């Protein structure tokens, strides 16, 4: 099924509103989910709606949060999301970070006590759209074996980065610190497709290609990915006084409870360093240089980070966003949720 961005946003927002979110917050979540689907990151798009709807309906997300923003220094601040939807809190916190970076050259804003916030590329692109550099990191529930370990401790703990070039083009980088994000396993499950044996392990700690047998994910590049996910956990958990490591709340364990997650935005204003025009010229030159590198066997071109997603987004705008049929059927149905996520393991089927 192919849908326009506008129609997909409408269906998602309507479902989340029926689950209990205000119209404003339902629209805000839908913006982030459609952003993900439009860039081909379906693991963070419409397939997440039923999970959110179930958690909202059961009270595990505050549908009337009292957001609070407090500056703690000239370039530092805390945004308390009061356990509302993370997508909206993270967006508003980035708006504040952008204002501070424009005034002071740099901003670091901690976002605390929020629910899952979706694709981090959305938030760093907010900064890039304002000719600023955006960096965002966030913690997630333990589902990754640390290098050398046999049981999960850290989450997929993603990192995102965006920098503005000329003519509205950005370099955008958004990655989990695992070989793949958990959402990619969910996407494979939704299509009943196997996964590469380098993504995850089963209950015996052995590599598996069956997405339904996944019991833990693997860090990217072994000890290097392990170190990165530790760094993210420190910056978005310990630094903000929140639960960290294997104490981070599970996505599925109890959908009636708030999750108290953390996220950290860092925004840098190039004007305070090399100057915006020179910086944008450097980013645009980087893009061209990468595109002009001789491609390896099996590749048509070297793409700069975010290029293929941007091209995919343009194609989807022309032809519609492809949505799995059963997800579409759920979105157009009168069902709020099917009670399939609550009190499941982190690897719920």
Q: Which residues are catalytic?
A: 116
Q: Tokens 């958690």 belong to which residue?
A: 55
What are 138's strand-pairing partners? 263
**What do you get for the CA distance between the two ends of the chain, in Å?**
23
Start-end of H helices in 163-306: 182-190, 223-236, 276-292
The greatest distance separating any two alpha carbons of the chain, rounded to the nearest whole angstrom, comes to 54
User: Which residue, 113, 104, 126, 112, is CA-closest to 28?
Assistant: 126
- In 131-169, the DSSP E strands lie at 133-138, 159-164
Spatial distance between the Cα atoms of 229 and 158, rounded to a whole number of angstroms? 8
Spatial distance between the Cα atoms of 170 and 268, rounded to a whole number of angstroms? 15
What are 216's strand-pairing partners? 201
User: Which residue, 255, 254, 250, is CA-closest to 336?
Assistant: 255
């Amino acid at each position: 099924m192919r849908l326009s961005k506008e129609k997909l946003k409408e269906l998602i927002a309507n479902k989340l509103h029926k689950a209990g979110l205000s119209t404003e917050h339902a629209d805000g979540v839908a913006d982030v989910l459609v952003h993900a689907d439009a860039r081909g990151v379906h693991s963070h798009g419409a397939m997440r709606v039923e999970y959110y709807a179930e958690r909202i309906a059961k009270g595990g997300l505050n549908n009337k949060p009292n957001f609070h923003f407090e500056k703690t220094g000239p370039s530092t601040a805390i945004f308390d999301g009061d356990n509302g939807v993370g997508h909206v809190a993270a967006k508003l916190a980035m708006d504040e970070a952008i204002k501070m970076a424009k005034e002071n050259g740099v901003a670091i804003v901690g976002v605390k006590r929020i629910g899952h916030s979706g694709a981090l590329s959305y938030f760093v692109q907010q900064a890039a759209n304002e000719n600023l550099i955006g960096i965002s990191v966030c913690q997630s529930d333990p589902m990754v074996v640390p290098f050398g370990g046999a049981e999960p401790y850290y989450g997929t703990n993603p990192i995102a980065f965006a920098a503005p070039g000329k003519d509205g083009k950005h370099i955008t980088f958004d990655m989990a610190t695992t070989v793949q994000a958990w959402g990619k396993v969910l996407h494979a499950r939704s299509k009943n497709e196997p996964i590469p044996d380098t993504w995850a392990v089963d209950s015996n700690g052995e590599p598996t290609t069956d997405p339904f047998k996944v019991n833990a994910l693997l860090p990217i590049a072994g000890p290097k990915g392990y170190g990165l996910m530790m760094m993210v956990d420190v910056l978005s958990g310990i630094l903000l006084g929140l639960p960290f490591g294997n104490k981070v709340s599970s996505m599925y364990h109890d959908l009636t409870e708030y999750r108290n997650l953390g996220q950290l935005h860092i925004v840098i204003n190039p004007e305070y360093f090399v100057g915006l025009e020179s910086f944008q010229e450097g980013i645009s030159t980087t893009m061209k240089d990468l595109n002009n590198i001789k491609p390896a066997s099996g590749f048509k071109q070297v793409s700069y980070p975010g290029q293929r997603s941007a091209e995919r987004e343009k194609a989807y705008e022309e032809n519609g966003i492809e949505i799995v049929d059963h997800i579409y059927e759920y979105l157009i149905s009168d069902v709020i949720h099917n009670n399939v996520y609550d009190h499941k393991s982190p690897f719920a089927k």
